């Protein structure tokens, strides 16, 4: 896996098989990647022993989410190409996690960061970005992530010499970060036994990049996309592709199946992950688990075995003020999906 060797030599990356567990690191960016893979035990107790669901907990990245990976790769590529210089401001649209990652990396490397995000993202996300020193611009909440994309594009076009725009939705470094890190990690940590891979659709970079690596390594691995089942949903960070601006990095040829998940179902499993598994995570993780359970239950009905890996993009601390964790807004547990 790619590894940053030190804050002073961070553009040089070691090959995947050279990375070792470090007792001490030089810079916070050294901690991006190599996140743990954890078996879901209690919610899956109804499944036969030959079917297992594992969650890759991306909250253990230093910025708290899977977006640390593409943010680092995009910044690295910008510096190497000369498009990013110290006199430029990093500008991008985000639903929160990429913004946090860019703000963290910008703080570490001395760059100004300006972020455009929907006004209804959780207060925690806004505060974290500001804590890292980022400037926030809010787009119309009713327009979702598409509104933030369009507003950021206009800001950039009005003064392109002022900004470096990573453009996570169209930058090939986004999926490449997962092809070079997330995919190899999953293959290694499952001893090559993974049979199904699940990621939720936002920019689609995680699904596309990881899926490409796994399909190249073993074409029999099933790649499944999870998405909200409606254009009007409450799962922060995810896109209903059919009704949204399609990201340039999106590649429908990578996955074998796409499954839609209801917002209440995603919320329910997010709550259950905290209360039954001890995993405090974001609502996109509940969406991924709901999808994994559909896949697992289908395998069980067909008498097949499976080792399912689902990406859990972030932790739940950023959502404690939102309906998914508000006691008065709790939804009933989903059953039989």
Catalytic residue selected from 67, 239, 294, 307: 67
Q: What is the helix (H) or strand (E) element at residue 55, kind and residue range? A: strand 51-57
Nearest of 73, 136, 74 to residue 100 by alpha carbon: 136
Query: Own/partner pairs for 76-83, CB < 8 Å, 24+ apart?
Result: 76/10, 76/11, 76/173, 77/171, 77/173, 78/164, 78/166, 79/11, 80/11, 83/164
Asked if residue 284 belongs to a known ligand binding site, the reply is yes
Active site residue 67: yes
Catalytic residue selected from 122, 145, 177, 284: 284
> Which tokens go with 282?
């974001």
Nearest of 143, 90, 153, 155 to residue 118 by alpha carbon: 143
Asked if residue 202 belongs to a known ligand binding site, the reply is yes
Asked if residue 97 belongs to a known ligand binding site, the reply is yes
Q: How far apart are CA 23 and CA 44, in angstroms?
A: 34
Active site residue 305: no
Q: Which residues of 105-124 are buried (b: 16+ CB within 10 A; e: fewer)?
A: bbbbbebbbbbbbbeebbeb
Contact indicator for 284, 58 with CB cutoff of 8 Å: no
> Which tokens go with 243?
């009704």
Q: Which residues are known binding-site members for pyridoxal 5'-phosphate? A: 97, 202-206, 284
What positions carry a catalytic annotation? 67, 284
Q: Which residues are known binding-site members? A: 97, 202-206, 284
């Amino acid at each position: 896996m790619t590894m940053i060797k030190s804050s002073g030599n961070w553009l040089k990356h070691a090959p995947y098989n050279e990375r070792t567990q470090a007792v001490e690191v030089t810079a916070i960016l050294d901690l991006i990647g190599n996140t743990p893979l954890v078996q879901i035990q209690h919610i899956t107790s109804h499944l036969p022993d030959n079917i297992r669901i594992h969650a890759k907990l991306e909250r253990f990245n230093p910025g708290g989410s899977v977006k640390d990976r593409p943010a680092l790769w995009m910044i690295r590529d910008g510096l190497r190409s000369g498009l990013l210089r110290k006199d430029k401001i990093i500008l991008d649209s985000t639903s929160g996690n990429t913004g946090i990652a860019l703000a963290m990396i910008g703080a570490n490397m001395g760059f100004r960061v300006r972020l455009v995000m929907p006004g209804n993202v959780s207060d925690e996300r806004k505060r974290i970005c500001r804590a890292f020193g980022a400037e926030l611009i809010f787009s119309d909440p009713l327009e979702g992530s598409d509104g933030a994309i369009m507003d950021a594009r206009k800001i950039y076009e009005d003064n392109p010499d002022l900004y470096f725009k990573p453009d996570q939705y169209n930058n090939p470094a986004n999926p490449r970060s997962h092809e070079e890190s997330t995919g190899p990690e999953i293959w290694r940590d499952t001893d090559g036994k993974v049979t199904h891979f699940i990621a939720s659709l936002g920019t689609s970079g995680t699904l596309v990049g990881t899926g490409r690596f796994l399909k190249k390594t073993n074409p029999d691995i099933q790649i499944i996309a999870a998405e909200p089942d409606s254009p009007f949903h409450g799962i922060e960070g995810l896109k209903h592709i059919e009704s949204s601006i399609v990201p340039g990095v999106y590649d429908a040829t990578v996955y074998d199946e796409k499954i839609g998940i209801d917002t209440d179902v995603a919320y329910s499993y997010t709550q259950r992950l905290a209360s039954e598994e001890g995993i405090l995570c974001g609502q996109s993780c509940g969406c991924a688990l709901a999808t994994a359970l559909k896949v697992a239950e289908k395998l069980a009905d067909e008498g097949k075995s499976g080792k399912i890996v689902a990406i859990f993009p972030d932790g739940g601390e950023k959502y404690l003020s939102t309906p998914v964790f508000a006691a008065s807004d709790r939804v009933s547990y989903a059953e039989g999906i």
